[in-house]
């Protein structure tokens, strides 16, 4: 039996091909076929893998490769039983990343100009990439982007250790990350979020590792002898690897369970998830060549290019589209699934609209990865995908200028500029000069001068409304315009407390009323010292322009102050 495993390390001109052969008690030789397509055309020298019954790790270095190209390869094993060929795999000597997902939490944001990426992986809300020089890039978080803008909170999952190099594989957990080095050791950073919150770590002495996978608060590693080790939180059995598990060629980790693919094409699972007790694979599942899981559902790719899914299915993530075929890779997300087809296109299904919104024109994809609400793909440097403008809403005060930051993201990671596509019907739009009003924007098509995409809106004197006005904008990556995005502006006067607005009931609590703008949202905050303010909730609109808030907790406090803000 022959199992082709991911190549690594890969540089701009060299690559190490990897796989595992199972001699099955017969003298066996193994080699790799490789080339720029599935005709291969080139082979490595045969290697003796002995005559045992356990898997044997096989590796071969190939050189003289073209930078920025894609290569196919597979492991071939030969003995008295015949010749067995492993599944085809692909690697690149340098491509760029395409990303998509929910930009409001930074999943799609990345640094521009990345053209030397040889591998990608995703955590639940962050992303990882390997440069062709063996260094690692990490971005995203629970919230935020690669520049740490509005990140709240960060658990260190993108804080790549200084000096980390010679990396051949990366993996993401919930809020931690792993890197496998060329020497078979593992590095970890970030935090385990489980029954016990603690820094991610690697067991002392862990070595000879060939694959890694991260769960919420635990990790598993595949060793070169085909055994699996686990460490971290075990409250749901995620590291309770079956004692008789051998001949493993691939692994995957969910939130609190593990998967292993054996050399015979069978899948083994252990651990359980809070909302689904068993992750046991279907009884008749066989001929599997790849597996994936991220939270509570699982995907398996079979030798015939079809996909099998099991586990949680509340959003259809385990309902494989009818007729899906010619699949070469799979990636499971939170409540969605991705499949890469042999023609380089990506198919998505499930309930996460952000993660299943695969960019139009995405093609030539080499590999895929998925987080909770985002997807990643390696694509040719020559492929340029159009950007996406992100509509936004903003609230300003009466007779005050409002600074607005236009937002967009580019699936290809290109730097973006902005243009105003339509002017506001009311008020005036200005260029932002770094401190205040610049030149007035008087015509559609005007380029935004600020490098951060900021403009300034000035309402007329004493004008207000919810919403008050809107305008449109486009993002441009130097080649393509995005579809228009909209900025909706609300202008609000200060809320006005009304006569006899207060009411106190010893049982119900304290309530007060105020006048505002119909349709607006008003937040209520409370304090006992004018310094520390706690958000209590939103006021209820009782009639047009009239709002009321009931504080049921006020009966437990001798003195409390309130502040009304919008939103």
Q: What is the pLDDT of residues 262-291, one digit of tens each?
A: 999 999 999 987 666 568 999 999 999 999
CA distance 99 to 137: 14
In this predicted structure, the answer to whether residue 378 has a pLDDT above a threshold of 60 is yes
Structure confidence at residue 351 (pLDDT): 83
Least confident of 113-117, 136-140, 505-509, 528-532: 505-509
Provide the pairing of β-strand 392-397 with 485-492: parallel
Looking at 57, 91, 125, the residue that finishes a domain is 91
In this predicted structure, the answer to whether residue 308 has a pLDDT above a threshold of 90 is yes
Task: For residue 24, report the phi and psi dihedrals to the nearest 5 degrees.
Answer: 60, 40
Structure confidence at residue 57 (pLDDT): 98
CA distance 8 to 30: 18
Mean pLDDT of all residues in 548-555: 84
In this predicted structure, the answer to whether residue 143 has a pLDDT above a threshold of 50 is no
CA distance 99 to 362: 10
Mean pLDDT of all residues in 105-121: 76
pTM, two decimals, is: 0.85
Mean pLDDT of all residues in 115-130: 94
Mean pLDDT of all residues in 323-337: 97
Residue (of 128, 97, 102) closest to 113 by Cα position: 97
Structure confidence at residue 275 (pLDDT): 64
- pLDDT, tens only, 1-21: 999 999 999 999 999 999 999
Cα-atom radius of gyration of the chain, to the nearest Å? 28
CA distance 138 to 120: 10
Structure confidence at residue 565 (pLDDT): 87
Structure confidence at residue 144 (pLDDT): 36
| CATH number where 162 lies | 2.130.10.30
Q: Is residue 532 located within the same domain as residue 410?
A: no
**Where does the pLDDT of residue 151 fall: very low under 50, low under 70, confident under 90, or very high at 90 and above?**
very low
In this predicted structure, the answer to whether residue 82 has a pLDDT above a threshold of 90 is yes
In this predicted structure, the answer to whether residue 149 has a pLDDT above a threshold of 70 is no
Residues 6 or more apart whose CB falls under 8 angstroms from that of 373 comprise 101, 102, 105, 107, 125, 333, 334, 352, 354, 355
Average model confidence (pLDDT) for the chain? 92
Chain-centre distance of CA 100, in angstroms?
Answer: 8
CA distance 459 to 442: 15
**Where does the pLDDT of residue 557 fall: very low under 50, low under 70, confident under 90, or very high at 90 and above?**
low
- Sign of the Cα pseudo-torsion (409, 412, 418, 421, in order): negative
Structure confidence at residue 194 (pLDDT): 75
Least confident of 96-105, 119-128, 318-327, 527-536: 96-105
Mean pLDDT of all residues in 363-391: 94
- pLDDT, tens only, 419-449: 999 999 999 999 999 999 999 999 999 999 9
In this predicted structure, the answer to whether residue 560 has a pLDDT above a threshold of 70 is yes
Q: Is residue 68 located within the same domain as residue 101?
A: no
Three-state DSSP state, 522: coil
Sheet holding 136-140, edge to edge: 117-122, 126-131, 136-140
Neighbours of 521 (CB within 10 A): 17
Would you say 263 and 20 are in contact if contact means Cβ atoms under 8 Å apart?
yes
**Where does the pLDDT of residue 150 fall: very low under 50, low under 70, confident under 90, or very high at 90 and above?**
very low
Mean pLDDT of all residues in 108-132: 87
Of the chain, the end-to-end C-alpha distance in Å amounts to 62
Q: Is residue 254 located within the same domain as residue 304?
A: yes
In this predicted structure, the answer to whether residue 83 has a pLDDT above a threshold of 50 is yes
In this predicted structure, the answer to whether residue 243 has a pLDDT above a threshold of 90 is yes
**How far apart, in Å, are the Cα atoms of 522 and each of 2, 378, 410, 430, 538?**
64, 44, 34, 28, 6
In this predicted structure, the answer to whether residue 152 has a pLDDT above a threshold of 60 is no
Q: Is residue 116 located within the same domain as residue 11?
A: no
CA distance 126 to 526: 35
| CATH number where 39 lies | 2.60.40.10
Task: For residue 461, report the phi and psi dihedrals to the nearest 5 degrees.
Answer: -55, 130
Peptide bond just before 269 cis, omega within 30 deg: no
CA distance 247 to 477: 48
Q: Is residue 200 located within the same domain as residue 295?
A: yes
Structure confidence at residue 354 (pLDDT): 77
Beta-strand runs (E) in 272-317: 288-293, 297-302, 307-311
Least confident of 117-131, 246-260, 274-288: 274-288
Q: Is residue 177 located within the same domain as residue 293?
A: yes
Three-state DSSP state, 133: coil
Least confident of 198-207, 245-254, 284-293, 509-518: 509-518
Would you say 547 and 567 are in contact if contact means Cβ atoms under 8 Å apart?
no
Q: Is residue 239 located within the same domain as residue 346?
A: yes
Q: Is residue 206 located within the same domain as residue 347?
A: yes
Looking at 333, 362, 379, the residue that finishes a domain is 379
Structure confidence at residue 146 (pLDDT): 36
Percent of the chain surpassing pLDDT 90: 79
Half-sphere exposure of 553 (CA within 13 A, CB side): 11
Three-state DSSP state, 434: coil
CA distance 186 to 212: 8
Looking at 437, 469, 492, the residue that finishes a domain is 492
Mean pLDDT of all residues in 540-565: 85
Three-state SS string over 222-245 comes to EECCCCEEEEECCCCCCCCCCCCC
Q: Is residue 70 located within the same domain as residue 115?
A: no
Which tokens is 141 given? Answer: 């978080």
Structure confidence at residue 110 (pLDDT): 67
**Where does the pLDDT of residue 142 fall: very low under 50, low under 70, confident under 90, or very high at 90 and above?**
low
Q: Is residue 99 located within the same domain as residue 162?
A: yes
Three-state DSSP state, 554: helix
Three-state DSSP state, 415: coil
In this predicted structure, the answer to whether residue 107 has a pLDDT above a threshold of 60 is no
Mean pLDDT of all residues in 171-195: 95
Residue (of 547, 487, 550, 549) closest to 517 by Cα position: 547
Would you say 476 and 417 are in contact if contact means Cβ atoms under 8 Å apart?
yes
CA distance 373 to 362: 18
In this predicted structure, the answer to whether residue 414 has a pLDDT above a threshold of 90 is no
How many structural domains is the chain composed of? 4
Q: Is residue 77 located within the same domain as residue 144?
A: no
- Burial profile 45-54: b = 16 or more Cβ within 10 angstroms, e = fewer: eebebeeeee
Q: Is residue 340 located within the same domain as residue 228?
A: yes
**Where does the pLDDT of residue 145 fall: very low under 50, low under 70, confident under 90, or very high at 90 and above?**
very low
Three-state DSSP state, 552: helix
Residue (of 222, 273, 217, 225) closest to 251 by Cα position: 222
Structure confidence at residue 500 (pLDDT): 66
Helix intervals (H) in 273-410:
353-356
Which tokens is 445 given? Answer: 């098509």
Mean pLDDT of all residues in 305-325: 96
Would you say 366 and 119 are in contact if contact means Cβ atoms under 8 Å apart?
no
Mean pLDDT of all residues in 99-123: 77
Sheet holding 267-271, edge to edge: 248-253, 257-262, 267-271
Mean pLDDT of all residues in 539-554: 90
Neighbours of 80 (CB within 10 A): 11
Q: Which domain holds residue 74?
A: 2-91
């Amino acid at each position: 039996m022959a199992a082709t495993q991911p190549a690594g390390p890969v540089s701009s001109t060299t690559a190490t091909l990897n796989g595992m052969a199972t001699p099955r008690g017969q003298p066996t030789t193994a080699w790799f076929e490789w080339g720029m397509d599935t005709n291969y055309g080139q082979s490595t020298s045969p290697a003796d893998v002995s005559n045992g019954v356990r898997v044997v790790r096989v590796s071969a270095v190939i050189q003289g490769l073209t930078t920025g190209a894609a290569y196919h390869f597979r492991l071939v094993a030969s003995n008295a039983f015949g010749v067995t060929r492993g599944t085809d795999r692909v690697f690149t000597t340098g491509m760029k990343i395409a990303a998509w997902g929910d930009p409001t939490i930074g999943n799609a944001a990345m640094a521009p100009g990345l053209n030397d990426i040889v591998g990608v992986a995703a955590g639940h809300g962050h992303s990882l990439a390997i440069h062709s020089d063996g260094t690692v890039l990490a971005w995203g978080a629970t919230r935020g982007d690669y520049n740490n803008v509005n990140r709240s909170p960060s658990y260190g999952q993108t804080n790549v250790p200084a000096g980390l190099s010679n990396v051949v594989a990366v993996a993401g957990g919930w809020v931690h990350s792993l890197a496998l080095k060329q020497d078979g050791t593992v590095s970890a950073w970030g935090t385990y979020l489980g029954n016990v919150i603690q820094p991610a770590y690697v067991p002392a002495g862990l070595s000879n590792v060939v694959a890694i996978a991260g769960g919420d608060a635990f990790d598993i590693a595949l060793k070169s002898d085909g055994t699996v080790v686990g460490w971290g939180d075990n409250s749901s059995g995620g590291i309770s690897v079956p004692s008789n598990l051998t001949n493993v060629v691939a692994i995957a980790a969910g939130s609190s369970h593990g998967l292993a693919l054996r050399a015979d094409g069978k899948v083994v699972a252990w651990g359980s998830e809070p909302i689904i007790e068993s992750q046991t694979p279907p009884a008749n599942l066989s001929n599997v060549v790849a597996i994936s899981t991220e939270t509570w559902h699982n995907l398996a790719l079979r030798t015939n290019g079809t996909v099998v899914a099991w586990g949680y299915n509340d959003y259809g993530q385990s309902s494989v589209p009818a007729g899906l075929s010619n699949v070469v890779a799979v990636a499971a997300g939170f409540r969605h699934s991705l499949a890469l087809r042999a023609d380089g296109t990506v198919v998505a299904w499930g309930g996460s609209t952000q993660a299943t919104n695969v960019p139009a024109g995405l093609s030539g994809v080499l590999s895929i990865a998925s987080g909770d609400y985002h997807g990643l793909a390696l694509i040719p440097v020559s492929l340029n995908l159009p950007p996406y403008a992100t509509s936004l809403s903003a609230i300003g005060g009466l007779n005050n200028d409002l600074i607005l930051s236009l937002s967009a993201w580019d699936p290809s990671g290109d730097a973006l500029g902005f243009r105003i596509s339509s002017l506001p019907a009311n008020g005036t739009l200005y260029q932002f000069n770094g401190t205040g009003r610049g030149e007035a924007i008087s015509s559609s098509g005007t380029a935004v001068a600020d490098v951060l995409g900021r403009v300034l809106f000035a309402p007329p004197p004493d004008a207000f409304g919810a919403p008050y006005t809107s305008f449109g904008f486009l993002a441009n990556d130097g080649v393509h315009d995005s579809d228009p995005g909209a900025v909706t502006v609300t202008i609000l006067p200060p809320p006005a407390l009304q006569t006899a607005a207060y009411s106190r009931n010893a049982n119900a609590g304290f309530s007060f009323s105020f006048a505002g703008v119909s349709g607006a949202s008003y937040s209520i905050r409370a304090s006992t010292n004018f310094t520390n303010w706690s958000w209590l909730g939103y006021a209820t609109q009782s009639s047009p322009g009239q709002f009321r808030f009931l504080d049921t907790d006020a009966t437990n406090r001798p003195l409390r102050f309130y502040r009304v803000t919008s939103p």
